Structure 1
Amino acid sequence: MKGSHYRRLGTDGEYQLFESTDYTRSNWDREIQHGSPPLALMTKLIEELTGDAPMRIGRVTMDILGAIPVAPVRVRAWIDRPGSRIMLLAAELVAARPGGPDRAVARASAWLLATSDTTDVATDRHPPLVEGDKDPMPHKWEGATGYLEAIDWRKQYGLDNGSPVAWMSPLLPLVDADDMTQMQRLALVVDCANGAGAAIDPEQFVFMNTDTTVHIHRVPVGNDFALRARGSIGPDGIGVTTAEIFDRQGFIGTCAQTLLVQRR
């Protein structure tokens, strides 16, 4: 498989310019992007701005401000709160609006924390997950083109602690042939928690997330990640998906998403 989620187009002042490829297309609507590539792209710019500082992301949140078109986008990152031990960085993704001015369609914020050696007190509250045989029907969007072609989605048989489990691996680079950091690899799949933990039938309901918040207590390792996810649907059209995140070595963090639930 060849290609990438974005192609670099150059710069415009403080913005970096990218062409969005077909591999960003959402399974909900082919004209908009899935949430994972924009999250990974803004994470990339945040990490590049950090440079060689002895800090790493402990939490990153993406808020989706509007439909993110499969079109050229402008992205910038900046330091919101400087510090030597704790730093808040932010990024925004801007796209053209038909018949109007460009607007921000997604924003991200990330807390970066100073690293130190705490190996002697490191703990995980969940044991590692072991990948088993995959379900031949990984999700309700089987056969959808776009983003879902660019990841390997391996739903597991049965439930774990009452929740579905899916192992996922990104298959393509994020930007051109650039190397990806471990955090960027995770960001390329973590927004799938909503689909992995679906509590209702997507053929009868739309349940799109407005945000994704990821807390990571350990740097991800490798290219394979498991989401043990579960959606909760309220009585008034609002839901939440929460998930525990694993790599091959064990538990690495959590994510949560707010859902707008509507009947088709």
Structure 2
Amino acid sequence: MTSKALMAPSFFSQNSDGVFVGNDPARGPWSADHCHAGPVTGLAARAAEIEIGAEKMLCRLTLDILRPLPLSGLRVAAETTRHTRTLATTQITVHDLDNTLCAQGTSMHLVRKDLGDVPTAAVVPLDRAKAVPGPFSIGVGLHDKPYFGQFLDVAYPPGFDLHPGPKTLWMRTPNLLEGEQQSPIQSLCALADCGNGISWNAPPKEMGFMNTDLTLNVHREPEGDWHASESISHWHSSGIGMSQSVLQDEKGPVATALQTLVLHPPKA
């Protein structure tokens, strides 16, 4: 079977002015004109990694989503705010074509060392060989244009069903940027922003659950192009929620992702 992710266009193309223009896979499920925040998080990680360089690993990325992120064009920049032998930090901004600030964030990078074997927690990795292909967990989008969920390769542990509540899935996504190989952490960002869409407690037609931010903490760079998310969402009558995800590759956990959620019933 042909891989949807490998055959899909990259999430973004970059024009001669340095603007990132979203392709169909970058479109979110909520609006036909705006991006899914996961691919944009990948652009934020890319900007931070370029700014700091490969000597240090991006270990934390926090992105506050202030406004919808238009597919028509985004400018993404990162500026160093601290750089020592051990760590570095950046301030990241995402602007639209009208120079409106749409998202902002920070990153932290730690120096790479070679310590040999060190003790760590014993965790049994998920077994992708037993995973069963299936649809993206959020189902159809709220518009009729091609969107993010239609360009992914998705697989679930045996016996899955798309019930409300916590879920685990494997995902392979399109490349981040046309003509450029994405870094391991960039390849993780789209999945990191899917926790709310994986572990919803009611379908979108019954309750909206958009995230207002994403914090990604990485303790090991992922390997391969298939990554898994074990996700749970906590929803409350206050209209506030949170999604928590443990992200893994085929060797075991590599990161955690947290999203703050705003809940809103559908309009009558």
The alignment's TM-score, normalised by the length of structure 2, stands at 0.87
Equivalent-residue separation in structure 2 for 1:247 and 1:139 (angstroms): 19
Q: Which has the higher strand share?
A: 1
Partner Cα distance (1:133, 1:2) in 2: 22
- What corresponds to 1:164 in structure 2? 167
Aligned to 1:107: 104
Secondary structure of the equivalent of 2:117?
helix
218-227 or 131-140, larger mean C-alpha shift:
131-140
TM-score in terms of structure 1 length: 0.88
Matching residue of 1:184: 186
Tell me, which stretches of 5 or more residues in structure 1 are unaligned? none
1:72 aligned partner: 73
Shifted more, 219-228 versus 106-115: the winner is: 106-115
Task: State the one-letter code of the partner of 1:110.
Answer: S
Aligned to 1:43: 45
Separation in 2, partners of 1:119, 1:257: 34
- After superposition, what is the alpha-carbon deviation per residue over 1:75-103, rounded to whole angstroms, capped at 9, x for unaligned? 1111012222111112211003xxxx521
Tell me the residue number matched to 1:6.
12
**Structure 2: unaligned runs, 5 residues or longer:** 1-6
Post-superposition Cα deviations, 1:50-85, rounded to whole Å, max 9, x if no partner, equal 224x21011111110101111111111110122221
- The answer to whether the Cα contact below 8 Å between 1:124 and 1:251 also exists between their aligned partners in 2 is no
- The equivalent residue for 1:240 is 242
- Which amino acid in structure 1 is aligned with residue 71 of structure 2? V
- Once the two structures are superposed, what CA deviation does each residue of 1:206-245 show, in whole Å capped at 9, x if it has no partner? 0000111111111111101100000001121100000111
Identity across matched positions, percent: 25
> 2:76 and 2:214 mapped to 1: Cα distance?
18
Q: How many residues align?
A: 252
Q: In the alignment, residue 50 of structure 2 is paired with which amino acid?
A: E
Q: Which runs of 4+ in 1 moved over 3 A?
A: 135-138, 155-159
Contact 2:134 2:154 in 1 (8 A): no
1:147 match = 148
The 1-side partners of 2:13 and 2:136 are apart by 29
Distance between the aligned counterparts of 2:224 and 2:89, measured in 1? 26
> Conserved in 2, the CA contact under 8 Å of 1:138 and 1:155?
no
What amino acid maps onto 1:25 in structure 2? R
Aligned mates of 1:108, 1:222 — CA distance in 2: 27
Q: Corresponding residue for 1:95?
A: 96
1:134 aligns with 2:132: yes
Q: In structure 1, what is the equivalent of residue 117 of structure 2?
A: 120
**Structure 1 residue 35, shift from structure 2 partner:** 0.9
Write out per-residue CA displacement over residues 189-217 of structure 1, whole angstroms, 9 at most, x where no aligned residue. Answer: 21111111112222200000011111111
